[in-house]
Amino acid sequence: MRLHISAISRSAISRAAFAVLIAGSALASSAQSAPQWDYEGRNGPLLWSKQDPAWKACNKGEQQSPIDIRGAKLNKALQPIELHYVAGPVTLVNDGHTVRVNVDPVSFIVVDGTRYDLVSYEFHHPSEHTVKSKLSDMEVDLIHKSADGKEAILGVLFDETIGNANATLASLWPHLPRSAGRTDKVTDMVNAGGLLPADRGYWTYEGSELTPPCTEGVKWFVFENPVSISRDQYNAFANLYKLNSRPLQVPHGRKIEANE
């Protein structure tokens, strides 16, 4: 009887092991077949839409970001952005394309009476946007979403200087995850408002997300005044990502407005 039970047990174990092997193979196959994208090479920006039909807007859309900011028209009716940023712990994520900072959903902005909650912010080197064809050393994009899923993104340009370290980056940079897939939690109180310039004049236009699927309908607000960061702060990120910015997109006659 013991032999019979042992045989059944071995058979059950074999079937279970086989099922696990099949499931593992399916997951590996799924991971390998998932669409890939990058900022250079055969998976670079010019070919993003070929990686996945859902990414068609990346190369076929007419309201894509980033763009060169020039010829902005003053619109005195544009109101200042209401900023309601609260300090709190954050988590830094190296996703293989950038370092993203995830925040607790307590900070928000108000634009034209609509509230947009701060979801995360991410860094790019060099800047995504240019001003009259001039690149900045880096850019941080603060991503906000409204209750109905609409996006508003604040873009801040960074200029590297010998001194003038940014206090908020000084809190974040010791926790930079050095490799893709790594995360690090900052338990100190970090306020994203410390990444914004003192003068909050901005340019605004209708654009898109910067990465696949490149969804359009995003309200962009790029601050006119850059923020200074130190050479050490610049180098710390540039050594991680030598290039993680998307090429400029065709404006297709889009209106760029300035609030001051």
Q: Which two tokens stand for residue 28?
A: 């590996």
Q: Which of 233, 228, 225 is nearest to 161 (CA)?
A: 228
231 class by beta-carbon count within 10 Å (0-12 exposed, 13-18 middle, 19+ buried)? middle
The token pair at 183 is 């995360």
CA dihedral 254, 195, 125, 233 (to 10 degrees): 160
Residue 136 in contact with residue 114, Cβ under 8 Å? no
Cβ(172)–Cβ(194) under 8 Å?
no
Beta bridge partners of 138: 158
Mapped onto helix, strand or coil, the DSSP state of residue 23 is helix
The two tokens of residue 80 are: 């200042």
> Of residues 4, 97, 129, 252, which has the active-site annotation?
97
How many whole angstroms separate alpha carbon 235 and alpha carbon 238? 5
Can you say whether the dihedral through the CA atoms of 204, 205, 208, 210 is positive or negative? negative
Q: What gap in Å lies between CA 130 and CA 128, rounded to an integer?
A: 7
Known active-site residue 124: no
Catalytic residue numbers? Answer: 97
